[in-house]
Structure 1
Amino acid sequence: MVQLGNVITAMITPFYEDGSVDYEGAVQLAQDLCQNGSDSVLLAGTTGEGATMTEEEKLTLFRAVRTALPPHKRVIANVGSNNTAQTVAFAQAAEKTGVDALLVITPYYNKPNQAGCYAHFAAVAKAVTAPVILYNVPGRTGGKLEAATVVRLARAFKNIVGIKEAGGDLSAVTVMARDTDEHFSVYSGEDNLTLPILAVGGCGVISVASHLIGRELQTMIEAYKAGDVQKACALHQTYLPVLNGVFCTVNPIPVKTCCQILGRPSGPFRLPLVEASVEEKQFLTRLLQQFHIIK
């Protein structure tokens, strides 16, 4: 089973001022993240503005980052859409780039029922040999992947190895963790719920805040797994303003703005996302200063 680690960063995609993808900047950022607490990186997801990237841009990004990182630092490719046939074809193309795992979101807009969700993920799992991570984010898709469906998928397909769970339902997470075996991992998809999700059986986080506090999140998770709950709780409480602050407006605007402030590879946004407001930039600058992230 592929080991994805405790902290997976859902990485921003750097763009040049003309809107084209800054592949060199993406490689530099991925390397920096992996030197500062991240075990793996997720590319072209929500935080990476994948919805506005072409398939060719994504495939080029996947190849560039996978080639640049050492083998023990894993690369996860977001391949999901609300079109099953398109998702299957793109998953197969992404697998050929050498990435270590594929992220597949619950179909959005069409809002399939649980039978439709099962059939969608089953089609992808049957079409590839790469590990598949489910992505449940009802706030963006308008539909929920129920815990019972997750368990059914995990039992039926050994290459369905985990879920990015961003539904905010700890009871559902408990069922997923309880009713699956050791080959399946539940990752928090919400930074501020990482510790609670660990407490009910989760294994780590697919994080936005790890752009800024990757080492601290890694230390928190390691402490919890080592049995030092008091230390993990103290770190969670200390960094909660960062975990919440990077969502002060629609993701990824805050975290990409923080990278801009810090001089890291980032660049502009692609429409329909726009630059942070003056007030939001001021808030984020104060946050970076408060936690000594600005050197």
Structure 2
Amino acid sequence: MSVLKRSLGRVITAMITPFNEDGTVNYDGAVALGRHLVEHGSEGLLVGATTGEGATMTNEEKLRLYQLMVRELGPQVPIIANTGGIDTLATIEFTKQVAETGVDAVLVICPFYVKPTQEGLYRHFTTIAHALPDVPIMVYNVPGRTRSDIKPATLKRVVDECPNVIGVKDATGNLEQVSEERRILPDDFLIYSGDDSITLPIMSVGGDGVISVASHVVGDDMLAMIDAYQHGDVKKAQQLHIKMFPIMTGLFFITSPIPVKTAMNLLGLPGGAFRLPMVDANEEETAFVRSLLVNYGLLDA
């Protein structure tokens, strides 16, 4: 897969996007948060995706954010940019613009709302990949949000035809599906867990790492877990998995990114405001997030 210039890392944080109180993007805050994440376990950063509220950002805002992250943090870690949508041709045009920022790869979601067939998914991804043969593309499969699920056999058709489709963020929660992906796809095809809480099980069936939300707050432990597993210390990996489990699940007790952004604000890191239809956590929800952080030793009681 020669189009991939460097490893994308084992722990890739799906970054929130800090917004100012007036709703504008806090670009300086994004860079500061990115630096913090890189210092605490993140080997790569995914920007402007679901956790980053990319659906409510304009293309111009995302382009500026991607350019800034590449310039400020790209020399240290790979930057992956979200470019996907439900319109194949619009995705191609936007991805062409994003590629000029110098990002290491792009994430393209299975189209949501329109519910394409497997043939439609195959044509969607191959059309994009053929139009951008020098851009490394990662497929984002998250049927819980999109009601669209690219099956391993369809993904193999895409990969066999398009070598620049280099990986998948698998958020199906289905270990059998991940196992089949590992079985039939090339050894160097990257399979990332899209669900923090099953990262270790996915590693056990051939996964390469995680595109994580929890790594905003437990990135060091997340990387340590993966590192322990890869070095054969399964017991340590299991202990870290259990330690992180309340955080990995608790940050999804209501719609993400509300809990993780609330956590960032509680920790004094750049979290900021939300854009509708995302809203601030209420008092009870904020108290629950605080309890997660206190119980983990990240905040004083």
TM-score by length of 2: 0.96
CA distance, structure 2, for counterparts of residue 154 and residue 231 of structure 1 = 35
1:19 aligns with 2:42: no
- Report the secondary structure of 1:186's partner residue: strand
Q: Does 1:255 align with 2:254?
A: no
Task: Give 1:180 deviation, angstroms.
Answer: 1.5
What's 2:209 paired with? 204
Structure 1 residue 273: Cα displacement:
0.7
Equivalent residue number for residue 5 of structure 1: 9
Secondary structure of 2:293 counterpart? helix
Map of 1:237 onto structure 2: 242
Q: Per the alignment, in what secondary structure is the counterpart of residue 41 of structure 1?
A: strand
CA distance in structure 2 between the aligned counterparts of 1:162 and 1:76, rounded to whole angstroms: 12
Post-superposition CA distance 1:146-189 (Å, at most 9, x none): 11111222222111110000011111101111212233110000
In 1, Cα distance between equivalents of 2:22 and 2:76: 34
Contact between 1:106 and 1:117, CA under 8 Å: does it hold in 2? yes
Q: How does 1:67-86 map to 2 (within 5 A)?
A: 67-86=71-90
Q: Write the deviation string for residues 5-57 of structure 1: whole angstroms up to 9, x where unpaired.
A: 11000000001110000111101111110111000110110000000000000
State the 1:293 CA deviation: 1.5
What is the Cα deviation at residue 72 of structure 1? Answer: 4.1
Q: Does structure 2 conserve the Cα–Cα contact (< 8 Å) formed by 1:188 and 1:205?
A: yes
**Residues 1:280 and 2:285 aligned together:** yes
Q: Which residue of 1 is the match for residue 166 of structure 2?
A: 161
1:222 maps to 2:227 = yes
Which residue matches 1:103? 107
Q: Assess if the C-alpha contact under 8 Å between 1:177 and 1:185 holds in 2.
A: no
Distance apart, 1:123 and its partner CA: 1.3
Q: Which amino acid aligns with 1:48?
A: G
For each residue in 1:40-99, what CA deviation from the matched residue of structure 2 results, as whole angstroms up to 9, or x when unmatched? 110110000000000000000000011001524000000000000110001111000111
1:58 aligns with 2:65: no
Q: Distance in 2 between matches of 1:43 and 1:70?
A: 12
CA distance in 1, matches of 2:233, 2:55: 40
State the distance in 2 between where 1:177 and 1:27 align.
35
Three-state SS of the structure 1 residue aligned to 2:138 is strand
1:42 alignment partner, SS class: strand
Matched residue type, 1:16: N
Secondary structure of 1:134's counterpart equals strand
1:164 is paired with a residue of what secondary structure? strand
Of 36, 60, 66, which aligns to 1:32?
36
Corresponding residue for 2:275?
270
Residue 139 of structure 1 corresponds to: 144
Query: Which stretches in structure 2 are left out of the alignment for 5+ residues?
Result: none
CA contact (8 A) 1:158 1:183 kept: no
CA distance in 2, matches of 1:235, 1:250: 25
Q: Does 2:98 align with 1:127?
A: no
Partners of 1:11 and 1:41 within 8 A in 2? yes
Q: Percent identity?
A: 48
Aligned match of 2:97: 93
1:182 and 1:29 mapped to 2: Cα distance?
A: 33
CA shift for structure 1 position 294: 2.3
Paired residues in the alignment total 295
- Does residue 116 of structure 2 align to residue 112 of structure 1? yes
TM-score, normalised with respect to structure 1: 0.98
Q: Is residue 195 from structure 1 mapped to residue 220 from structure 2 by the alignment?
A: no
